[in-house]
Structure 1
């Protein structure tokens, strides 16, 4: 949910709760005020009617008994006032209770009778006796009218009191509603504050702290964990990914710089080491010339073979060579080894003709043959056979070096295989084996290169770095021999 929608929900819920509370309070207030207004209005009308009837009675009495004191216009004004008030209080059965209806109906009827009597007195020519009787009847009607008005006033006041007492709890509820509204508003503001703190303020502060730490080149802080999919959450997730990308980039740069330093050191060492091989190469050529003069054929051949090995070692700068050249160097190397060990070491080479022109990693066979002699055959008094094969199978080039030596112990073979497998399973190709990297390689998985052999380790790294689909297989049986097979496709990286 986006941050905008969250705010819309918060605003809608808060507004709805506050509006509902306000509407409820207003409705209760209006109802209470309406009840109170009706009660006061009815009481006022009843009192006003009683005053008007009483005033009319007293005025009329003065008029009949002392005509000179009260003028006819005053009588008409008082009577019109009473009629006006009576019109405000109609006999409505739906708007009052039964007792009120009966009394107000009686008041209207009595006033009509009284009005008829009054008109007969003022508008008809009555005899003295009839005049007296009419006045008496008028007084009686006014007395009845006053009694009914008193009764109506009493009933109205009594009903008003009952209504007030019945609705009085509303006047206690209204303050409670106001308090509830205030409480709800406070709770809403607290909730909004917590929501803002949890969704915006706290993540932003955490992001600021992490950015400040990264600005000081410190990437050791824990990642910011946040749930949700709003804009703040997406910002923090993207920031975390950027942090890891930057950290990995810096680590890569450091490793690259370290590798460059190692390469520079290796170039310097190679430059120094070239002095002795050149001197030795020139000396061997001199000795070979002397041996030819003295007719020492075998010595001359050995010296020339060794010279070719040195020349190949010094002049080979590329990482790949034709297989034919590698086989020639391998033959020269084995000639020297056979001259050293005599008949103890036998050598066979089986290379398909179609493979002679294929490009293979330089110096890929000689280290394997050297390991076979040193670790497999030299310690055996009987010696043994070294059998080299080169062939193609399933669009892959296969190089195989086998010996009939003492073999490899099971635990050591297991460690060597795990070491080689880790090299080919690692995502990036490591540098060649060095003394410094001997104890640090991630691919070693706790196995030191000296346990496996620097030569085969270097070959594994080179094969992995040069070819996508490549590998090394090792088979060995104790006291029977060892086979090392290298395979790779024809497409280098």
Structure 2
């Protein structure tokens, strides 16, 4: 039993669902085949009984009609009577020939009675023709009475065969009726067994698929509520769900550590602000801590949205798509948490944006279009930029620009060089913003705010201004048409 359970847990979701479906189909087919076998066999047996009785009755009727035609013919020798007599004889012969005469099918007793009728009629037929010839020639003698005795004997043989056939048919009919009466009970038992199997497989499928997904959904909800102290999700699955749960637990711990780091950095910043600002070393440490805070102060809300997307996709798609989504999210997560260097190559930054947009396109489908327009003359592998430069801007375009538009929109990433300056722009065809909000955003400095879009963009602005002289970030937006954020870096 343990081996079967282990094998079941290793099966993919697709195979588990297929086994459950095949079980239901097998039960339905078994019930149908049983019905056809019992009812069809009973109908065939009852049809055989009726056919055998009909043949016996036909022989008896045909022989009676032959005897009547014989009497009419010997009393009045006319062509009409002769024709009727000959037809009656042929009919009797045909009905006798049509009697069941297979030993294995009718048994010894009926076989013996049938054999007696056939042989008696053959002998009677031979004597009947001789007597008829003599009678028609006016030579009536004792032989006609012997012929009448033969008729009575054959008739009694036919009656005996009919009685035996009726007796055997009654017994078979009684057995079949008993079987048919018990059929509803048998069908009820088979149906109960089928329902039990279906319910059992359904419960197993629920325990190994539905419940783990429910646990995973609860874990995602805990993270969205910023509860990282919950116990790790534990499942026995070794399929796609098991891999997804393991990855989720790893990401939860990493995110918890990241949040703790953010809190520690914030506390450190407060302590540094309280110390003597005149000392150069303290100012330097404060500046470094402030830069670290700006760099790490990334809104984790996109991670929560992405986890919800993956949770939904696990129910709808196969393991390949889920694995690809998890891989892309892992790239993003590692990049956000483990980038120890302040600068990265522009190609690496763009690659992370590709992973992020892949996840968002899996979420929004055809509603979201992503276009890259990179100057081919630029060597993006050798160009370095601050880490986490583009992700907050692209996230704002998706979350605040396009996600609320029913028809979706387009995001274009453009990189080019002009007048010895590097320009990176992110353009979206989203909701845009009002003029007042645009002016407020362009004038905003680094501060604590509940506006996630403002935090991300302000982080980028302040980092660019602190790292590069004469460099800046500009925002252009028209309400209802879209927003363009342009980063200008002058080396």
Q: What is the TM-score normalised by the length of structure 1?
A: 0.50
What residue ranges of structure 1 are gaps of 5+ in the alignment? 274-493
Match for 2:253 among 244, 259, 267? 244
* CA distance 1:230–1:170, shift in 2 (3 Å): same
Name which of 86, 91, 100 aligns with 1:76.
86
Residues 420-472 of structure 1: CA deviation (Å, up to 9, x unaligned) = xxxxxxxxxxxxxxxxxxxxxxxxxxxxxxxxxxxxxxxxxxxxxxxxxxxxx
| 1:94 corresponds to | 104
1:326-349 CA distance string (max 9 Å, x none): xxxxxxxxxxxxxxxxxxxxxxxx
After superposition, where does 1:200-279 map in structure 2 within 5 Å? 200-268=209-277, 270=279
Do residues 10 (structure 1) and 20 (structure 2) align? yes
Q: Secondary structure at the match of 2:234?
A: coil
Match of 2:226, SS state, is coil
Q: Which residue of structure 2 aligns with residue 65 of structure 1?
A: 75
Change (3 A) 1:269 1:261: farther
Supply the distance in 1 between the matched residues of 2:35 and 2:272 (Cα, whole angstroms): 85
* Gaps in structure 2 of 5+ consecutive residues: 1-9, 283-491
Q: Which of these residues, 116, 122, 127, is aligned with residue 106 of structure 1?
A: 116
Q: Deviations over 1:294-315 (max 9, x none)?
A: xxxxxxxxxxxxxxxxxxxxxx
Q: Tell me the alpha carbon deviations over residues 268-296 of structure 1, each in whole angstroms, 9 at most, x when there is no partner.
A: 375799xxxxxxxxxxxxxxxxxxxxxxx
Mapped partners of 1:26, 1:177: distance in 2: 13
How far the C-alpha of 1:70 sits from its partner, in A, is 5.3
Per the TM alignment, residue 8 of structure 1 is displaced from its structure 2 partner at its CA by: 2.9
| Superposition map of 1:339-358 within 5 A | none
Alpha-carbon shift at residue 221 of structure 1 (Å): 3.1
Cα deviation code 1:118-149 (max 9, x no counterpart)? 222455687533x4434323322211111110
CA contact (8 A) 1:46 1:153 kept: yes
| Equivalent in 158, 164, 170 of residue 155 of structure 1 | 164
User: Structure 1: how far apart are the matches of 2:259 and 2:16?
Assistant: 38
Q: Which residue is equivalent to 2:142?
A: 133
- Per-residue CA shift, 1:367-397, capped at 9, x if unaligned? xxxxxxxxxxxxxxxxxxxxxxxxxxxxxxx
Whether the aligned pair in 1 keeps the contact of 2:103 and 2:111 (CA below 8 Å) is yes
Structure 2 residue matching 1:95: 3-state secondary structure: helix
Q: CA RMSD in A?
A: 2.9
The alignment covers a number of residue pairs equal to 272
CA contact (8 A) 1:227 1:233 kept: yes
Q: Is the 8 A contact 1:117 1:137 kept in 2?
A: no
- TM (norm. structure 2) is 0.50
- Which of the numbers 105, 122, 126 marks the counterpart of 1:116? 126
- CA separation of 1:216 and 1:91: change in aligned 2, threshold 3 A: closer
Residue in 1 that maps onto 2:402? none
- Aligned-residue offset at 1:267: 4.8
- Measured after TM superposition, the shift of residue 41 of structure 1 is 1.4
Structure exhibiting the larger radius of gyration computed from Cα positions: 1
When residues 53 and 272 of structure 1 are mapped into structure 2, their CA distance, relative to the original with a 3 A threshold, is closer
2:240 and 2:222 mapped to 1: Cα distance?
Answer: 23
Choose from 189, 208, 233 the match for 1:199: 208
2:69·2:81 contact (CA, 8 Å) conserved in 1? Answer: no
Deviations 1:227-272 (A, max 9, x none): 1112223222222221111111111122133234334444537579
| Alpha-carbon distance change, 117 to 209 in structure 1, aligned in 2, over 3 angstroms | same
2-structure distance, mates of 1:231, 1:271: 55
8 Å CA contact 1:107, 1:145 repeated in 2: yes
Instruction: Compute the displacement of 1:152 (Å).
Output: 0.7
Decide whether aligned partners of structure 1 residues 251 and 243 sit closer, same or farther in structure 2, where only a CA change above 3 A counts.
same
CA distance in 1, matches of 2:261, 2:208: 35
Secondary structure class of the residue paired with 2:104: coil
Q: Which runs of 4+ in 1 moved over 6 A?
A: none
In structure 2, relative to structure 1, the CA distance for the partners of 1:108 and 1:7 (3 Å cut) is same
Matched, 1:184 2:224: no
Q: Say if 1:25 and 1:177, in contact at 8 Å, map to a contact too.
A: no
Alignment partner, residue 171 of structure 1: 180
Deviations 1:315-368 (A, max 9, x none): xxxxxxxxxxxxxxxxxxxxxxxxxxxxxxxxxxxxxxxxxxxxxxxxxxxxxx
Q: Deviations over 1:379-419 (max 9, x none)?
A: xxxxxxxxxxxxxxxxxxxxxxxxxxxxxxxxxxxxxxxxx
- How far apart, CA to CA, are the structure 1 residues paired with 2:88 and 2:135? 24
